[in-house]
Amino acid sequence: MSWLGGILPSARMLRMTVLYGDRKRMDDPIPRCADAVSRVHSLMNKVTMAKVRGKLVIIWSITCFICLLVTARQLSISMVTVKTSTRSTQTVPPTAFLPTAFLPTMNVTNAAIPGPPIVVLTSTNAGFLKLTENLLESIKRTTSSANITLIAEDEQSYSYLTNRSELYPGLRVQMTDTGLTTSKKLLIGTKTYKQFIKKRARYILQFLQSGVAVLFADSDTFWVKDPFKDFEGEFDFAAHNEEKPPKRPIFCAGFAYYRPTENTLRLVKEWVQLLDTTDRNTMDQVVLNRLINREIQKEVPGLKIKTLDPNQYPDGRLDYRIPGWKEPRYDEITVVHLSYIRGYNAKVQKFRELGWWLV
């Protein structure tokens, strides 16, 4: 503010000089005018400099503020990048990303099967409620003492199935803790559908890590007989092959049995990791079969696979389009899976045609 102190006296002096003039120069008007003009110029220069300084201060302040914003933004991006790169390069145990809530009910187990306790696992949302009820009703009619854990992916299905859980012995309904899904019917191949079905790998792994064998069943399956007799013996993973030999097998993830062995745990852990990283937008069954075929091609495969009898476990790819396929094989059928039948209404209609719609 020192410059302002100099301006005020000069201004007062200029005013007095202009009004009264310099007494010593009263008789000399030309020097008096020149002096006044000089003082005015000096004052104007000081005022101009003050304005310039003020503008410079404002510009400097704005520049500093912008620099701070840019620096903060870059720091934030750097922190995210470091966090992401650390997560992708370090070997993080898959269990660190898994829910811990899904523990099996142990009061109802199938005592006829030796080995670890078994849980029948499925998941649903409101869009598939009737298909899910049809599955539960079919399991109930086999008189199988199945221990069923049903994971509801939205609040509507959770509320509805919880209120009806007493109708199905051994059923436990749990709400997902990995993010709610839409209550609408999902179309195969859409992003929402992929996000919906990829969760099951996490659920399966959680049970396996608890020492529980898992029979995963999609809501569009129907149990004609108790399937547990087919899961005896020494193996790690059992499923139906959707291809006919000698073609490379495509195992159906919609109805598959997982034993809690080291080989199975290793397989499912890698499955979960890939679905969380490089294969976020890939169908879970595609990723699973890639891993299984890699095991098959080894000279000494570690994973022991049991292929379910296609006559007992028919699917929509090989059977349902053939007229009259059901009658000659009816006594053999154990579980039907409406794979490759696209759309909720089409699945319901097919179950009605086959005489397996119970709700």
Give the residue extent of every domain in the chain: 2-70, 115-354
**What average pLDDT score do residues 266-295 get?**
90
How many CB atoms neighbour CB 343 within 10 A? Answer: 11
Task: Quickly list DSSP for 214-283.
Answer: EEEE-TTEEESS--GGGG-SS-SEEEEESS-TTSPP-EEEEEEEE---HHHHHHHHHHHHHHHTTTTTS-
Architecture of the domain defined by 115-354: Alpha-Beta Complex (3.90)
User: 237: pLDDT confidence band, cut at 50, 70 and 90?
Assistant: very high
**So what's the pLDDT on residue 193?**
60
pLDDT of residue 297: 83
Are 256 and 162 contacting, i.e. CB atoms less than 8 angstroms apart? no
Buried b (16+ CB within 10 A) or exposed e, 106-141: eebbbeeeeebbbbbbbbbbbbbbbbbbbbbbbbbe
Backbone φ and ψ of 336, nearest 5°: -105, 135
Task: Count CB neighbours of 275 within 10 A.
Answer: 24
> What pLDDT is attached to residue 348?
93
pTM: 0.68
Other C-beta atoms within 10 Å of 314: how many?
24
The Cα–Cα gap between 258 and 120 comes to: 11
* Of residues 81 and 251, more confidently modeled: 251
pLDDT-based confidence at 45, cuts 50/70/90?
low
User: For residue 32, what pLDDT band results from cuts at 50, 70 and 90?
Assistant: low
Question: In this model, does residue 290 exceed pLDDT 90?
Answer: yes
Strand, helix or coil for residue 165: helix
How far, rounded to the nearest angstrom, does the alpha carbon of residue 84 sit from its chain's CA centroid?
Answer: 16
Average pLDDT over residues 295-315: 86
Give the model's pLDDT for residue 329. Answer: 82
Rounded-to-integer distance, Cα 58 and Cα 62, Å = 6
Which pLDDT band holds residue 65 (cuts at 50, 70, 90)? low
Q: Is the pLDDT of residue 318 over 80?
A: no
- Residue 89: pLDDT band (50, 70, 90) is very low
